[in-house]
A and B are shown apart, each in its own frame.
Chain A
Amino acid sequence: MSLLSVRDLTVKFSNRGQSVTALNGISFDIARGERVGVVGESGAGKSITGFAMMNLLSRPGYIDGGQVLFEGKDVLKMSAREQRSLRGNRMAMIFQDPMVTLNPVLTIGQQMVETLRAHRKLSHEEARQIATVKLKEVYIPSPEARLDQYPHELSGGMRQRIVIAMALLLDPQLIIADEPTTALDVTIQADIMELLLEMCRSNMVGLMLITHDLGVVSQVTERTLVMYAGRIIEAGKTRSIINDPQHPYTQGLINALPQQTPPGSRLKQIPGSMPSLNAMPSGCPFHPRCPLANDLCRTTMPKVVQYADVEVACHEVQRLQSDLTSEAAQ
């Protein structure tokens, strides 16, 4: 049994009686200790997926169907109390910008101790001790002193280390990291990513890494989900997706990497931009930007098929696949 299974998860946003679909029945699994990357352009629904898994969507967003099974139990059907005992305890979340995700009026110690004491019967002193140990694990110098400091007294990299330590406080089974390094200096980004990887490896923690940095995904994760317009359009081993992407969108993403272009020439970008939620094109949502689009793509959403090493939702890939099978039949 996988640690986490998401089944047909649908998220909508309501606005004055009208609702738009932000997440269109997505399904995926994360095994124990597995590291999964979620990539895609801004607005693809990556962060919404993360929030929905914790059932933390705030209005006007709401979950319109599907299941989030954590160790076999549906999070969405649990009582508020059960959900709370899961959050921060079994599933932890790391957010994008450490400058604003820590409460400015509480000390680091207060914010760590309260998390521990919300889930375990501990005295204040015991909780502080655990917090100190965790801060040491993420290589924070003089952790005792840090506990009494306020977030604004620390650097961005330091704060993100603290956020990671905070996520690890209760030894969770799964960490959802929503672009944990985008707000940081490039030099610190690599450090933080390495730290996160090390922590997940040594503690056997599952990781869902939401990012748009394909380089990070290839270094850290074992499996990758590519999202576009609220759907998973390609999923598989990270190595396969990076080396041999099948969906034209994923191919476009990888071709757009600066390393793929000789210095001095234009980057190969994907023309156009992601459709907005209330103007979703018919058929495959990628067809207006797809170089291979045909009439079928404009009318019908492709099904997910297994091709090469990946699962992919594309009519063109489907055609190639059926060509192969018919060849094999002959």
Chain B
Amino acid sequence: MLQYTFRRTIAVLPTILCLIVICFFLMRLAPGGPFTSERPLPPAIMANVLERYGLDQPLYVQLFTYLKNIFFNFDFGPSFAQRDRDVNDIIAAGFPVTLTYGFWSAVFVLVLGIPLGVIAALRQNSFWDYVMTGFAIFSQIFPNFVLAPLMVLTFTLALGLLPGGGWNGGQWEYVVMPAVALGTSYLANVARITRSSLLEVLGSPYIRTARAKGLPERTIMIRHALKPTLLPVISYMSPVFVYMITGSVFIDVFFSTGGIGQSFIDAAYTRDYSVILGLAILYSVLTFVLNLAVDLAYAAIDPKVRSGLK
């Protein structure tokens, strides 16, 4: 398993390198630059500014310098748009915010979604099953950009229970709505997948065998049914985790959390090359780490996968 983790980690380095190169050139293909504005700068000043940020160099030299700084100094360069801040600062300020509500959102999804699905499956076609199905449909027609304003209307404006935005150092009142708004549609999907997966597992021959062996129902559920039931849930959660922890641009903007989603949008508008590139690298590293984590979780549950890893 350790060896597998190591191999995967080595394999990802060239991938990230390719990604940096592609992003780098794609950005430059877009018209405009960080210092173009409605009122053009005098050519002399422009030349000075470009020189200061190294933008007067040929592209391949710029790329090379950029890579060199990352690999040797872990420095992702200065922001072009925000004076006195560099990319490391921006990530250090925004990422903990996104990570916090993303994490709670994932907890919310799993801790509620799996039991909901289990209950719906065990009480198939009962009141709770219909409640769950109704909830799943509800969350599909209310994606987060509809749900978030509705939540603010209800909990902030009407009831005055929760703040409508801001972060305040991650106090819980400020985390609740971003986490719930981000997670609800995934929660419904997780519940739905758990339900159908459990129903399938319960109808499987090995559960019949367990019953015929005279095992207590609780043992059958926990020992025999739970693990196989979770496999499809884990598959589904793999990309969702990444999405949640990297946060949603919409949630960041709507709740003014100050997360990196907001920085991404700002950077795209101002052609802040180094910030865009830095965030893209962050996203890809996170994607890799979380995918690996999910694959390892899969291996921990399914012995077939585990023997495939060797």
A binding-site residues for B, Cβ under 8 Å = 54, 56, 58, 84-89, 92-93, 95-97, 100-107, 114-115, 118-119, 150, 152-153, 163, 166
**Among listed B170-178, B202-210, B263-271, interface-contacting one:** B202-210
Interface membership of B30, Cβ < 8 A: no
Given contacts A56-B208, A95-B208, contact A118 B303 (CB under 8 A): no
Interface membership of B223, Cβ < 8 A: yes
Instruction: Provide 6 A-B residue pairs closer than 8 Å at the C-beta atoms, listed in order of the A residue.
Output: A84-B216, A88-B214, A89-B214, A103-B224, A105-B301, A114-B223
A100 proximity list for chain B (CB < 8 A) = 204-206
Asked if A114 and B206 make an inter-chain contact with CB atoms under 8 angstroms apart, the answer reads no
B307 proximity list for chain A (CB < 8 A) = 150, 152-153
Asked if B215 and A118 make an inter-chain contact with CB atoms under 8 angstroms apart, the answer reads yes
| CB 8 Å contact bits of B284-309 with A (1 = contact, 0 = none) | 00000000000000000111100100
Given contacts A152-B303, A152-B304, A153-B307, contact A104 B206 (CB under 8 A): yes
**Chain B: interface size category:** 20 to 34
Asked if B228 and A104 make an inter-chain contact with CB atoms under 8 angstroms apart, the answer reads yes
Which 8 pairs across A and B sit closest by C-beta, in order of nearness? A87-B214, A88-B214, A88-B213, A150-B303, A93-B212, A103-B206, A100-B205, A115-B213
Whole-angstrom CA separation of A95 from B211 in the bound complex: 12
Whole-angstrom CA separation of A106 from B206 in the bound complex: 11
Residues of B215-259 contacting chain A, CB below 8 A: 215-216, 219, 223-224, 227-228
Asked if A56 and B212 make an inter-chain contact with CB atoms under 8 angstroms apart, the answer reads yes
Asked if B214 and A105 make an inter-chain contact with CB atoms under 8 angstroms apart, the answer reads no
B227 proximity list for chain A (CB < 8 A) = 105
Asked if B224 and A118 make an inter-chain contact with CB atoms under 8 angstroms apart, the answer reads no
Whole-angstrom CA separation of A173 from B302 in the bound complex: 35
A54 proximity list for chain B (CB < 8 A) = 212
B209 proximity list for chain A (CB < 8 A) = 93, 95, 101-103, 163
Whole-angstrom CA separation of A100 from B215 in the bound complex: 18
- Nearest CB on A from B297, distance (A): 13
Given contacts A95-B205, A100-B206, A105-B228, contact A114 B219 (CB under 8 A): yes
